[in-house]
Chains A and B, each alone.
Chain A
């Protein structure tokens, strides 16, 4: 059994409001991911759940029992630390066996079990090394093994895959999920890597500046981002500012400057309102004469798995990124783009405009 419920958690450090009224529920056996840029408050959240940090406000329930007055060792959650925190004076094996030994298992038994777990992360051959003798990726796997060895139902993983190289990472992230599922664990995994989150999560909660801005399955969030921040952060949408010119039941026309008007089949915005327009890089079509024609110049392009990512400087001055399989793209050439109104997203305007959103996404405040 392992369910986790956070009610109205707030935490303030001297100047920073690290968490604001965070409500989150994680179900038994679920693999949940909290996704947010650096500095969003992810580590703080996990430390509060683990009992290493006391929240200013709000309650933590584990299996529906309020645990706020319990010390970390009695909460029944295991925390994977962002920088591993492997005990430097112990071998890999001793690190992994630590939680078993403090429970009173004998030397032999704890060693046998720790060895089994090390085998799961393919590090049994380094059991007698010291952490400092291992690479970052290996240390990360040891830390993972140590967390699993704690034998609790709830794992809190703070960026557990950040040190792995791309290839191993995509392999290990599925292994990690399978492992958690096969052991029936409830996992709260935090990361700033969107692809990783999309790959492993049953459900994602997006954290921005200490606030949860959206919770949903990967598909829900990809298809229906609620704010410009989520759109840019998750779906890598192109964002543009504009003013609503016409608004009716299923049609909104937004003036994005430079004489360009884009039509969207979403609504909920009034005429004259400032909005942020979002378009996924893959939603643009090059050439053609559909609706929503935009023109510009190809600034640059780069290869990405099987397609090209083209940066276009639009004639109204804004810059968009376009994903295409076409090969006849040349730097400096003129280009015209169209986009289906159904693929044009609209988001409420934020104080500070687009620049604030983009800064938040990159984690720079």
Chain B
């Protein structure tokens, strides 16, 4: 508990208190700026509206794609399942700026889809928006890719834990597969849908790295925070950060408190009977419940993953090949991958060192986070104040990562406690702050509505003490949730850029190295490093998944 408070909650609270402590500064910058008046405030409002629009749209698309995918991964048996699973998780691993870069190449340049189709240009303008909504398509695409894993993984963990016998029963009682989904599955997985959506929403709201690369002229709240930080408008940055947190809470808390019942099961109101909609639904469902249609849906979803994830990866890989010996456009050897790695720029040793740092910090922070998360999830489920705790834990997710990095740095670093100087240990501490909430959420998603409490009670009456019970009964049942959380947090830790760059000191992990390379215009080296990271991570998830697969 103490460890938890110190490691996770303190930096969070520290951040939240910032605007209050520095209120004068906030007032000066936001409300009563002598030069621009409340221009900043209006800016904040418009930026917030835009951010919410973007994140909510991303979550809706996540759900449309994510529910079928999660179902396919949890219930289906087909070759290549582990591969699909890995692909869905992939966007988390790639440093977000690298992924943004890859998506930019894919959609807006001739190296990407446009070139493949022989258009001679990208198929999208960076500034293209969905008509009538003002949401930039490219930004939405990137946000969906980056947040889809949260929805899919959370739901999948829940579905795997859910006994398929209820679906069977429903089918033999005459319900079509879609009706079964609506009436049997949905009420039981709703808490997980909710958890996954919240994670995705929060992540989208706070995403910085990729968004900056593809944003063009539009600014999200997260980017605004980072810009202001760099312009030393700390007060305004912290203020916007706080608003972000508060608004997110306003959305999350009521849903969490009102909708989730005792068993984490949500009872739908009989409204659809009253309006006669039920009959319409049943008809529609029976029309659509054809095996062929269902397979079509799966194919569409897999296709979407391919477009969102696989193609950017291929585009990056292809570019690495193209740039291997020399810049394909100028023919200069200095622009080739080989030259940059082994020649005078000599990036290779840096890459190797960065690899070691990245994996060490990802591993250590995930390991510690798992141990913190399990008791935490338990407390949240068992005690009344748990819900508050759970809501507090969402803060690290919504706060733009760089702001979070700043807050850990301020707290632990030379300015405040002076305990830890920037470096790998501070990276680990920072990563723990956002890993714990992710793991806790995935565990809870599995825990709620399951029979674990029953098993626990049974074990207790059989003479097992609480610790033994937790170890032998609860943990195995929660395995799916823990594994999912660990994968999400490990990969996130590998790819995290925003916070990491602020706290890393001279221990440069690979995600930050990519950004450095981009900044020093060593694009080929950056391309190579991204590709290299993608493949190592893919292999790693793959092995991990095989090792922990259910017998």
Contacts and interface: CB of A to CB of B under 8 A. Distances in A.
A146 B265 CA distance: 21
Contacts of B174: 73, 99, 102-103, 150
A89 B267 contact: yes
A51 B267 CA distance: 29
A276 B263 CA distance: 57
Contact of B168 (A72, A88, A98, A102): A72
B183 A85 contact: no
Nearest to B184: A87
Interface string A238-256: 0000000000000000000
Nearest to B279: A104
B147 interface: no
Contacts of B170: 87, 98, 102
B549 interface: no
B166 A87 contact: yes
A257 to B, nearest CB: 46
Interface in B175-212: 175-177, 179, 183-184, 187-188
A101 B179 CA distance: 11
B169 interface: yes
Nearest to B268: A89
A52 B171 contact: yes
A334 interface: no
Contacts of B282: 102, 104
A71 B177 contact: yes
B79 interface: no
Contacts of B188: 88-89
Contacts of A81: 165, 168-169
Contact of A72 (B172, B183, B263, B278): B172
Contacts of B165: 81, 83, 85
A98 B173 contact: yes
A99 B270 CA distance: 16
A91 to B, nearest CB: 9
Contacts of B179: 102
Contact of B173 (A89, A99, A104): A99
A87 B270 CA distance: 17
Contacts of A77: 172
A72 B279 CA distance: 21
Which of B163, B169, B263, B266 has its CB near the most chain A CB atoms (within 10 A)? Answer: B169
Interface in A93-151: 98-99, 101-104, 106-107, 146, 150
B279 A79 contact: no
Contacts, number: 80
B175 A85 contact: no
Contacts of B265: 88-89
B188 to A, nearest CB: 6
A121 B173 CA distance: 19
Contacts of B449: 88
B264 to A, nearest CB: 10
A185 interface: no
A99 B282 CA distance: 12
Nearest to B179: A102
B458 to A, nearest CB: 14
B550 interface: no
Contacts of A312: none
A50 interface: yes
A60 to B, nearest CB: 14
B174 to A, nearest CB: 5
Interface string B447-459: 0010000000000
B273 interface: yes
Given A71-B177, A107-B270, A150-B173, A102 B183 contact: yes
A92 interface: no
B291 interface: yes
A281 B166 CA distance: 44
A199 to B, nearest CB: 26
Nearest to A50: B172
A101 B174 CA distance: 10
A78 interface: yes
B168 A146 contact: no
A107 B183 CA distance: 14
A79 B169 contact: yes
Contacts of B184: 87
Contacts of B270: 107
6 smallest beta-carbon distances between A and B, as pairs: A72-B171, A99-B173, A85-B169, A102-B175, A79-B172, A89-B265
20 contacts: A51-B171, A51-B172, A52-B172, A71-B171, A71-B176, A71-B289, A71-B291, A73-B175, A79-B172, A81-B168, A85-B163, A88-B265, A98-B170, A99-B173, A102-B174, A102-B179, A102-B183, A104-B279, A146-B173, A150-B172
Given A104-B279, A150-B173, 15 more contacts: A52-B171, A71-B171, A72-B171, A73-B173, A75-B172, A81-B169, A85-B165, A85-B168, A89-B187, A98-B170, A98-B173, A98-B175, A102-B170, A102-B174, A106-B273
Interface of A: 47, 50-52, 71-73, 75, 77-79, 81, 83, 85, 87-89, 98-99, 101-104, 106-107, 146, 150
